[in-house]
Every structure is written in structure tokens, then in C-alpha cells.
Amino acid sequence: MDYIDLHTHSTASDGTFTPAEVYASALDLNLTAVALTDHDTTAGLEEFLAAGAEHPECEAVPGVEVACKLADREIHIIGLFIDRRSKVLQEMLDFCRTQRMKRNRDIFLKLRYLGYELDINMPEFGGKQLLDIARPHFARALVKYHGFSSIQSCFEKLLGYNKPAWIKRQYPLPENVIEVIHKAGGIAVWAHPVTRDVPDRAFLMRSCRRLKSMGLDAIEGYYSMFSARETELVTQAAEQYGLLLSGGSDFHGDNRPNTVLAFGSGGLRVPDELFFKLKNGKCQLQELPDLP
């Protein structure tokens, strides 16, 4: 059996591998396909697709990951097979990045208030603008300058949900995200729908029903942090609500050192038969008359 990874991040958002390095790593692993799904940006896709242009044996899939709110919970929707030149897509991503910039500014202020002085000119922020950084950049700086033992400990103590330096931000609605992904020629996938902290079957099933009514196409059933039971649970939800399955590692390079491309924390294997079903689903969407 051959494998895929449809959830990865590069230096265009909060990963440490360049887009070309993400693709080269997938090629080295003999993957059938790999998707670049950076947060709120398609800036890395040109480099990523160029790297894959000469290698039909490993398809480079253009993607993006967008956070939104559903029933007061943050969820993430991945768009696969998107056209990065889509005007409506870029307008939505501009909104998301503006909200991210506001949150980043407030995180700097909150950390300063808590006694953790940081400056965006520190090397750990990679020369990026306020618009382009993410919480892992803060975590790397906190490890170097304020004695935290690891990136994970920064999230557990400061930057994670409802922790002292957690800052809320405004999100687009999931129905709008799904609609925009479709208008950009892509398919919409609910990423990592369950977590070890909230393995909530009722929320999963209820949300699948709601998101399906909004046009959701697929759900991530194979994920680095999923147990076999969680994969089974998501697979059942997909079957019940007529959703395709996707999967990926959520690779971030050195920002998540225990998450390896294609293999996650060691046990992940996403069969490539899912990729061909997703690709066929994209073709069926393109045949619908209300999509451009």
C-alpha cells in the first residue's frame, strides 16, 4: 500500500521547512501525494507546486487551513485542490491574516504584562512581519529567552487555549469558509475533528450534520494524534453523514519535533486510496452548475 500526507505546514506560516523542502521530503518518502496547507495563506504554494512540477509520481496538492468558530469552539477547515489565484479566497485570507495580526500584537502586550518581554526582531521570529507570525514563533522565543523547557511547555503554561497569554480573535463563519473553498475550486475538509482533550462523540456527530448541511465534503480521519479508536469514530461519522475521508500529519518541522511527515508520531499511515476518492470528489464538484 502507498501513502499520502494531506496536512503540512511550511515557513510560509508556522513550519520550519520551506515549501520546497516539504515537497522534497515527501518525494524522498515515495508518497503518492502531499498537500501544503499553511494557515491563512497561500504564499508558499508557488514554490511548492514548482518543486512538484517535474515529479508526477508524487502529486503536489495546493491547500490552505482556515480557523473558524462552530458552537463556540474553534475548528479548522482545510481546502484541498484550491486555486490560489481565486479573488474570493484571497479576500477571506486577508481578513483572517488581519485578525491574526491583531491577536499577535495583543500577545506581545499580554506577555509583556506577564513579565515576558519579547521583540519581533528576535531571530526566533524569522524576520517575519507581525502579520506572518504564529504562536510557535512566540514559543521558540520564550524557550530561548525566558527559560521554558520546550515549545510544548509554553503552550501548556502560557499560549494554549484559556492560558494566561491566550488571546481570542475574530473568525470567519464555517459556512463562509466552505463556500469560498468551493468557489476557489477546492474541497473542504474538517481537520482534526476530535482531540484527546475533547473526545466528544456527541459534538462530532452533531457538528458533522451541521457542517454537511453547509457543504462540507470530507473529514480528517487519519491524524498524528489520533488513536485507532478515534480514527474509527471519525470513520463512522463520515459514513453516517456521507463525507469523504482525508488524513495527514500536521507536520510543522522543528516546531513539532515529535510529528514526522507522513508518519506523525510514528503510527500514522494514510492510505492513498483516500486521495483518489478526494480527487474524484473534486471532479464531481466542478460539474455542479453553481460553482465557477
**What is the average pLDDT across 254-280?**
95
Inter-residue contact 127 to 96 (CB < 8 Å): no
Residue 284's CB is within 10 A of a number of other CB atoms, namely: 10
**What is the average pLDDT across 171-177?**
96
**Residue 284 pLDDT level (bands cut at 50, 70, 90):** confident
Q: Is residue 165 part of a domain?
A: no
Lowest-pLDDT range of 108-112, 142-146, 192-196: 192-196
Q: Is residue 193 part of a domain?
A: yes
Inter-residue contact 234 to 204 (CB < 8 Å): yes
- For every residue of 3-55, DSSP letters joined together read EEE--B--TTTT-SS-HHHHHHHHHHTT-SEEEE--BT--TTHHHHHHHHTT-
List, for residues 190-249, the tens digit of each pLDDT value. 999 987 545 578 889 999 999 999 999 999 999 999 989 999 999 999 999 999 999 999
List, for residues 64-97, the tens digit of each pLDDT value. 999 999 988 889 999 999 999 999 999 999 999 9
What pLDDT score was predicted for residue 292?
42
Q: What CATH number does the domain containing 48 carry?
A: 3.20.20.140
Q: Are residues 28 and 113 in the same domain?
A: no
End-of-domain residue from the set 159, 191, 213: 159
- Given a cut of 60, whether residue 288 has pLDDT beyond it is no
**Residue 286 pLDDT level (bands cut at 50, 70, 90):** low
Q: Is residue 145 part of a domain?
A: yes
- Given a cut of 60, whether residue 282 has pLDDT beyond it is yes
CA distance 205 to 211: 10
Q: Is residue 164 part of a domain?
A: no
Q: Are residues 54 and 73 in the same domain?
A: yes
* Of 206, 197, 235, 196, residue with least CA distance to 219: 235
SS3 (DSSP) at 218: strand
List, for residues 43-60, the tens digit of each pLDDT value. 999 999 999 999 999 999
SS3 (DSSP) at 228: helix
Strands 73-80, 59-70: parallel, antiparallel or unpaired by DSSP? Answer: antiparallel
End-of-domain residue from the set 159, 185, 207: 159
pTM of the entire predicted model: 0.88
Boundaries of domain holding 109:
95-159
Q: Are residues 264 and 137 in the same domain?
A: no
End-of-domain residue from the set 159, 194, 212: 159
Q: Are residues 99 and 116 in the same domain?
A: yes
Q: Where are the beta strands (DSSP E) in the chain?
A: 3-5, 33-36, 59-70, 73-80, 187-191, 218-223, 244-248, 270-271
What pLDDT score was predicted for residue 246?
98
What pLDDT score was predicted for residue 199?
54
The mean predicted confidence, pLDDT, of the chain is 93
Q: Are residues 9 and 116 in the same domain?
A: no
CA distance 92 to 189: 17
